[in-house]
Amino acid sequence: METLDQIKSQLSQTLKNDLDISYPPSPELGDLSLALFGLAKASGKNPIELAQETAEKLNKSPKLKTAIKEVRAVGPYVNIFLDYNSFTPAVIKSIKKDQDDYGRNQSGKKAGVMIEYSNGNTHKELHIGHLRNICLGDTINRLLDISGHRSLPVSYINDFGIHVAKTLWYLKNNQKEYQKLIKSTPKNRGYLLGSAYKEATAALAENETAKEAVGKIMQEIESQKGENYQLWQKTRDWSIKYFQSVYQDLGVKFKKTFYESEVITSGLKTVKELVTKGVLKKSEGAIIADLEKYNLGVLPIIRSDGTALYPVADLALAVKKFRENKIQESIYVVDVRQSLYFKQLFKILQLMGYEQKMTHLAYDFVTLPSGMMSSRSGNVITYHELIAQAKELALTATKDKHPDWSQKKITQTASELAFSTIKFEMLKVSAQKTITFDIKEALKFDGYTATYLQYTHARLMSIGRKAPRAKSRLDYSQLSEPQEKHLLFRLAQYPETIRHAKDNYDPSEISKYLFELCQLANDYYHAIPIIKSAPKTRDARLELIAATRQIIKNGLELLGIKAINEI
């Protein structure tokens, strides 16, 4: 249990009650505050009188003597001032001891949680919207892991939909484009398929008769025989290798990848069983789930022409997840447009007898300053376009800042900065909010950006490099400035921030924490001399700087971002 948690636990034990502990709006009002309205109502006492009694009891508690300097009753509140003579060394030593593991906890009690994200479509480009999904899912996985869960990150790839048949129809009818794909480098083929899909969508909009041909291609793929099936296998492989290269770029790893084509057969069998049991029913040649009595409408399962829709594979995959893995919860990271669909899917699974927790972690859209994106209309920034643009801008900024650096160092730093920027932009606001992505704004060195956080980390690294080695015994009482106490208290709140972010499935809480911590750190080293202070004071301040640098690094890594040491 970390320092701040221990103090809160001691307060609860002393008062023999679960407390409403908050943080006062101003440090002058204390470090912690207890609101006594609830306790007063339960005991029938006046909240102001109860606050006075509580303050007196806490001031006299021998358990709290070393942790708390003073307790004051202010109206119906009890304000608590910590004793920094004990609090400061406890926090810094804990960070120094745990280092990268500071904040790790066992609140998850090894409960199995499968988190499914990056549900891409083969034969389509990955774009900026997919990046939000990947970054959100990856960070939730990291939060689950650091919180003591047995986290199982998986990806589910739709390699069997009608979009595939459209792409293959286009390639078969445009041999020149197909040959261009074959001649391109293996790395490029996957995302170039996305252009073919876009062209196919436009061509089919003006060619009604071709839709029948697309349907036949889809049926042949599902039969797993014939020329179209072989073409599907080849082009599918291009897409899968493309996805893997993107995951490698982003530092994302999955325990397992599921493919729709691998579960579709068992899905069709499950559908047949559910029709027999009355969970699903036939309607005008199609198969549907009638969920009207649950206020969830009707969900089509199989089309009237016999081809499968998304729920067929999703039902089979859910069954496979629960049967083959001991998991208590299954999380689906899918955009907000699918909210009704997942309510319908979860209801069907409940009717099938599955009682495990199922969570749809919905996220809103990523838009451009020019408006919404669509892979059909072409108003989209693809992954490769985005990375190229970010690297180019970061390269220019790094060159301007460090003309003396080698080209290799400039290129490496710019690349790291580009990926940091993109990931942070995907995670700095809560999933329920829309992101308007502007790469030029995102790369600024001031403001709520990854660049600002990286600059702060690099600045603290620089201070550490320039400082002489400590020669005296550390004296933490030297850290008496208000800025030092504010910074230290914020460091102590990091483990709590992790728990809140995990409980709410909200990485933006980590992002906001890091931004506020970096603001405090910048204010501190601009206002207070560190290296030039007296040796004893300098050594203590360098310990505080090192602890701050460690937490910035830890927080960035939780977001899937590598901390940059020089920028």
Per-residue pLDDT of the chain (567 residues; tens, 9 = 90+): 789 999 999 998 898 887 789 999 888 899 999 998 888 888 889 999 999 999 999 999 988 888 999 999 999 999 999 999 999 999 999 999 999 999 999 999 999 999 999 988 999 989 888 999 999 999 999 999 999 999 999 999 999 888 999 999 999 999 998 999 999 988 789 888 988 998 998 899 888 788 889 989 998 998 889 999 999 999 999 999 999 999 999 999 999 999 999 999 999 999 999 999 999 999 999 999 999 999 999 999 999 988 889 999 999 999 999 999 999 999 999 999 999 999 999 999 999 999 999 999 999 999 877 655 444 445 678 888 899 999 999 999 999 999 999 999 999 999 999 999 999 999 999 999 999 988 888 888 889 999 999 999 999 999 999 888 777 789 999 999 999 999 999 999 999 999 999 999 999 999 999 999 999 999 999 999 999 999 999 999 999 999 999 999 999 999 999 999 998
Burial call 191-220: b when 16+ CB within 10 Å, e when fewer: bbbbbbbbbbbeebeeeeebeeebbebbeb
Q: In angstroms, rounded to a whole number, what is the distance separating the alpha carbons of residues 86 and 476?
A: 9
Residue type, 215: G
Among 170, 151, 160, CA closest to 120: 160
The residue ranges of DSSP E strands in 12-85, in sequence order, are 21-22, 32-35, 68-74, 77-82
- 166 is written with which tokens? 């459209």
Neighbour count for residue 18 (Cβ, 10 Å): 9
* SS3 assignment, position 507: coil
Residues contacting 101, CB < 8 A, separation 6+: none
Q: What token pair was written down for 419? A: 């990926």
- The structure tokens listed for 267 are 């899905």
Quote the distance between the C-alpha of residue 408 and its chain's center.
31
The Cα 375–Cα 195 span in angstroms is 9
- Bridge partners, residue 287, by sequence: 282, 302
> DSSP 3-state assignment of 361?
strand
pLDDT value of position 378 = 52
* Complete domains list, the chain, with CATH: 3-82 (3.30.1360.70), 117-367 (3.40.50.620), 394-558 (1.10.730.10)
- pLDDT at position 375, please? 46
Q: How many helices (H) and strands (E) does the chain have?
A: 21, 14
Residue type for 486, please?
H
> 223 CB contacts (<8 Å, ≥6 apart)?
229
User: Tell me, what's the pLDDT at 440?
Assistant: 87
Q: What is the pLDDT of residue 283?
A: 95
Query: Measuring CA to CA, which residue among 151, 130, 150 is closest to residue 141?
Result: 151
Three-state secondary structure readout of 77-102: EEEEEECHHHHHHHHHHHHHHHHHHC
From the list 217, 205, 206, 233, the residue with the least C-alpha distance to 169 is 217
Please give the structure tokens belonging to residue 226.
């014939």
Which residue type, as a one-letter code, is found at position 10?
Q
**Residue 380 DSSP SS3:** coil
Q: Measure CA 369 to chain center.
A: 23
Closest-CA residue to 495 (of 90, 86, 61, 28): 90
Three-state SS annotation for 235-300: HHHHHHHHHHHHHHHHCCCCCEEEEHHHHHHHHHHHHHHHHHHCCCEEECCEEEEECHHHCCCEEE
Give, as one character, the DSSP assignment of residue 429: S
> Which two tokens mark 233?
């296998």
Gyration radius (Cα) of the chain, Å? 28
For β-strands 256-259 and 366-367, DSSP reports them as unpaired
Instruction: Retrieve residue 241's tokens.
Output: 């290798």
- In sequence order, the 6+-apart residues with CB closer than 8 A to the CB of 391 are 414, 415, 418
What residues are paired with 300 via a beta bridge?
288
| pTM score of the predicted model | 0.93
Determine the angle formed by the axes of helices 227-250 and 162-172, rounding to 10 degrees: 110
How crowded is residue 345: how many other Cβ atoms within 10 Å of its Cβ? Answer: 22
Helix or strand holding residue 153 (H, E): strand 150-157
The confidence score (pLDDT) of residue 308 equals 87
The helix or strand, by DSSP H or E, that contains position 445, with its residue range, turns out to be: none
What's the CA gap between 221 and 164, in Å, rounded?
A: 9
Q: Which region holds residue 378: left if phi is over 0, alpha if psi is between -120 and 50, else beta?
A: left
What is the Cα–Cα distance from 155 to 115, expressed in whole angstroms?
A: 8
Kindly tell me the sign of the dihedral angle through the C-alpha atoms of 554, 558, 562, 567.
Answer: negative
Q: How far apart are CA 91 and CA 311, in angstroms?
A: 50
Q: What's the rounded Cα separation, in Å, for the pair 54 and 51?
A: 5
Task: Give Cα separations from 290 to 278, 299, 301, 311 (angstroms).
Answer: 10, 7, 10, 13
Sign of torsion over alpha carbons 400, 404, 408, 412: negative
Indicate the SS3 state at residue 308.
strand
Cα(121)–Cα(236) distance, rounded to whole angstroms? 10
